[in-house]
Amino acid sequence: MISPQFNQKYFGPASITLMVAGIVFLCQPWVEFLHAWSVLVMLIGLIGFNISVHIPAPEQAVDEDDTGPVSIAQTVGMGGGHD
Amino acid sequence: MANLITTLDPASRAASRGWSDTTIRNVFVIPTVAFLIIFNVFPLLYSLGFSFTDFRASSKAPVNFVGFKNYINVLADPVIWRTFSTTLWYVIVSVTGQFIVGFGLALLLNRPLPFKGLLTTLLMLPMMLSPVVVGLFWKLIYDPSWGILNYALGLGPVAWLSDANLALYAVAITDIWMWSPFVMLLSLAGLSAVPKHLYEAASIDRAGKLYTFFRITLPLVAPILLIAVIFRTMEAFKTFDIAFVMTGQPAAELISSRLYKMAFQQWQTGPSSALAYIILIMVLCITNIYVKYLNKAKER
């Protein structure tokens, strides 16, 4: 099981890197070995990416003391403004 | 309105309420899904099966399972390797050209101009033509003996389409001419959606034109430009008709042309199916990468 934190930090970016590397390997005109293994690299990246996008993003830490954005309109509406 | 509905007969009242979900499902959804399965999903899976066999569509010989041999052979073929490299270079040249020309035209048209509507319509004409017609049309323009391009540029008899160094660029120029209006159209939609008050605020702050362009225009238009680039990159990788009609020069052979020759001239159905799947995997990777960055751009 891949944790959301691991997915966001390593697994997702690694999958994208593999897909990009696979495309570059496939189309580069210099090293035959890379061309020969490019499809496998792309396929691993593609499968990894599809797993990665189905893992929910990690929950953001909530600051208990944060009261959120201050709205003047709300403050006035609640009677906090000058009468 | 309520009185009108109550005076109608029951059938008309049902019609005025619209079709039920069951009727919509039976009339629209089921035929569409069936059509997609028969003409898209089934051939896709069937050709996947072919890619693991030595099947030849022109022969009645028994079909044998060969495992990954077709994929290994395709990836070991130096001609296919060269064609992939050529295709990548073609995509880079073509999409970059379309982006520059299309976005440039959109910036020019995004200001008050006389006959702006007519101008926009005229600029969009190339996109509406058939690619084969465009290919044949440009073939005449490039003709070394009496083509108008050599005459207009004052060049000698330059053989654009049979010169190994020029053929690919000649095809790319044609593709740029044809598809820049598409980028222009999307860019124009993005540019017209940029709120005017941002420019007013920038001018109050004495922001320069370049600063305004890079800090306001470009970031706000970027997601829609990215969509244009996604579409054009995927289409450019699959380009067949224009290149096939215009040139037979091996140095300008794109991967789709090679696939066509393997499948329908040499009748190598198994290996050509394997090649088609390799192209599909590549296009899927490109799409996933672009969609990922598109979502990131939207979040910003």
Condensed to tens digits (0 to 9), the pLDDT of residues B135-191 reads 999 999 999 988 999 999 988 888 999 999 999 999 999 999 999 999 999 999 999
Segment B185-213 shows an average pLDDT of 91
Burial class (CB in 10 A: 0-12, 13-18, 19+), B255: buried
A2 in a domain, yes or no?
Answer: yes
Answer whether B281 sits within 8 Å of A43, measured CB to CB.
yes
Cα torsion through B145, B148, B153, B159, rounded to 10: -40
A26 in a domain, yes or no?
Answer: yes
A79 in a domain, yes or no?
Answer: no
Answer whether A46 sits within 8 Å of B288, measured CB to CB.
yes
**B193 or B15: whose pLDDT is higher?**
B193
Segment A4-31 shows an average pLDDT of 93
A17 in a domain, yes or no?
Answer: yes
Cα torsion through B126, B130, B135, B137, rounded to 10: -70
A49 in a domain, yes or no?
Answer: yes
Condensed to tens digits (0 to 9), the pLDDT of residues B228-248 reads 988 899 899 989 999 999 988
Least CB–CB distance from A39: residue in B71, B85, B286 = B71
Whole-number Cα distances in Å, B220 to B96, B180, B195, B215, B270: 20, 20, 10, 9, 47
Least CB–CB distance from A46: residue in B88, B278, B281 = B281
pTM, 2 dp: 0.82
Domain map of chain B by residue range? 73-299
> Which tokens is B232 given?
């054009």
Q: Domain residues for A48? A: 1-54
**Reduced to 3 states, what is the DSSP secondary structure of residue B131?**
helix
List, as ranges, residues 11-70 from A with C-beta within 8 Å of B.
16, 19-20, 22-23, 26-29, 32, 35-36, 38-39, 42-43, 45-46, 49-50, 53
Mean pLDDT of chain B: 90
Number of domains into which chain A is organized: 1
- The per-residue pLDDT for B7 is 60
A47 in a domain, yes or no?
Answer: yes
A73 in a domain, yes or no?
Answer: no
Provide ipTM, 2 decimals.
0.78
Cα B192 to Cα A2: distance, rounded to the nearest angstrom: 43
Cα B199 to Cα B63: distance, rounded to the nearest angstrom: 67
Answer whether A22 sits within 8 Å of B75, measured CB to CB.
no
Checking if the pLDDT of A82 tops 80, the result is no
Least CB–CB distance from A19: residue in B82, B85, B285 = B285
The residue in chain A having the minimum alpha-carbon distance to the alpha carbon of residue B91 is A27
Place of tokens 């499968």: A47
Cα B84 to Cα A28: distance, rounded to the nearest angstrom: 8
- The per-residue pLDDT for B20 is 86
- The per-residue pLDDT for A67 is 59
B81 in contact with chain A, both atoms CB, cutoff 8 A:
yes
Lowest mean pLDDT among A54-63, B8-17, B109-118, B211-220: B8-17
- DSSP per-residue string spanning B110-143: SS--TTHHHHHHHHTHHHHS-HHHHHHHHHHHT-
Provide the percentage of residues in chain B whose pLDDT is more than 90: 65
Cα B271 to Cα B178: distance, rounded to the nearest angstrom: 32
> Which tokens is B126 given?
């190339």
For domain B73-299, the CATH architecture is: Orthogonal Bundle (1.10)
